[in-house]
Structure 1
């Protein structure tokens, strides 16, 4: 099973430079703190090019989140490919993927959670909320599928528990509450999974 990745439109070289610059700036400094002038300067393009390629800052934010999510899903797929047989270790591979991903990609925690924190309650029609919600539901559904494949009792309830462990670990990582939260979450997840088989 390969986790499905959203279909993303190909980018022109100018759009790629804009997206790369915006992705770095949004993650490091925050969405509201970074203006289109700063992004255009960092990308070496005009504001007109930015707007021609993306239309608005909000669309650029969504593109940043989608492209980052696509990279994360590819990383998850690679980790799952190492544990092809259904079972506890395949489920735990999600925590392994999160740990190895975080080394190079999550010094400030989860980009989706961070973006959600910046946009308010999500009921104002801002396009970020449905995007980050979609990403989190995808991971919950993946946990559910892996639990079903492993014949875990009450797979949806277990998937929800695993999701809470995962989310707690990634927030802990971003907050620097303690070191190595994913191995800690993995140990608890393993105990829960072994008890549910």
Structure 2
């Protein structure tokens, strides 16, 4: 069974659901500030009275639409990730293959949560809070895969936590580059970087002394220099 694309919403007959569908579609494509309530009401096919019946403001509607998208996006991403292989390493790298499928779709407009956070100045705004909670939820899922990878590879918990944070940056970086460049293969570049990161971690775990020689202090480095050939006058 195919997994639903994160930009697809489930059709519903209720006025509230139609308003949420319209708000999410218009805001994802054009932005929060560029989308007015009238446009949302018109696309939803509801009466303006319905908007005020269900939502106290446009911001409340946007936050609710993002909350619903968060649930759908995470379900889509988790299911897609877990279809890639049976090991934690395969799942971690498979995340970028899942993203590439999304990047190649016609209605890809970047991360709705990063886009929304970029339009809202206050960190305490409900819209920013929803965006932040989405990234926290994504990090939790990534961390579970990193913990599983740590169990497979012998990595310690501290490194697994650091790896999960680095992984989130690679995921969001791929999304941002794909949005700006229009290149779906940004996901493959991020995947290559992620694989190199895993390989580096594996080397560090198997040889804790690896790289020590590169971290000598200047005084240690000077002590290894050959003596000067100059003669005293």
Alpha-carbon distance between aligned partners in 1 of 2:130 and 2:189, rounded to the nearest angstrom = 28
| Greater C-alpha Rg | 2
Identify the range of structure 1 (107-116 vs 12-21) with the bigger mean alpha-carbon deviation.
Answer: 12-21
Alpha-carbon distance between aligned partners in 1 of 2:21 and 2:46, rounded to the nearest angstrom = 12
What corresponds to 1:97 in structure 2? 98
Structure 1 pair 150–157 and aligned structure 2 pair: CA distance change class (3 A): same
Alpha-carbon distance between aligned partners in 2 of 1:29 and 1:83, rounded to the nearest angstrom = 33
Alpha-carbon distance between aligned partners in 2 of 1:160 and 1:97, rounded to the nearest angstrom = 19
Structure 1 pair 18–46 and aligned structure 2 pair: CA distance change class (3 A): same
Q: How does 1:1-197 map to 2 (within 5 A)?
A: 13-83=14-84, 85-104=86-105, 107-122=108-123, 125-151=124-150, 153=155, 154-176=159-181, 178-197=183-202
Tell me by how many angstroms 1:22 deviates: 1.0
Helix, strand or coil for the counterpart of 1:104?
coil
Unmatched 5+ stretches in structure 2 = 1-11, 203-233
Aligned length: 185
Tell me by how many angstroms 1:179 deviates: 4.6
What corresponds to 1:8 in structure 2? none
| Contact kept? 1:95, 1:183, Cα under 8 Å | yes
Structure 1 pair 173–164 and aligned structure 2 pair: CA distance change class (3 A): same
| Contact kept? 2:104, 2:184, Cα under 8 Å | no
Helix, strand or coil for the counterpart of 2:53?
helix
Tell me by how many angstroms 1:106 deviates: 5.7
Tell me by how many angstroms 1:84 deviates: 6.1
Aligned-pair RMSD on alpha carbons?
A: 2.0
Identify the range of structure 1 (47-56 vs 84-93) with the bigger mean alpha-carbon deviation.
Answer: 84-93
Identify the range of structure 1 (177-186 vs 99-108) with the bigger mean alpha-carbon deviation.
Answer: 99-108
Higher relative contact order (CA 8 A, sep 6+): 1
Task: Please report the TM-score for the alignment, with normalisation by the length of structure 1.
Answer: 0.85
Alpha-carbon distance between aligned partners in 2 of 1:36 and 1:78, rounded to the nearest angstrom = 34
Identify the range of structure 1 (173-182 vs 21-30) with the bigger mean alpha-carbon deviation.
Answer: 173-182
Task: Please report the TM-score for the alignment, with normalisation by the length of structure 2.
Answer: 0.73
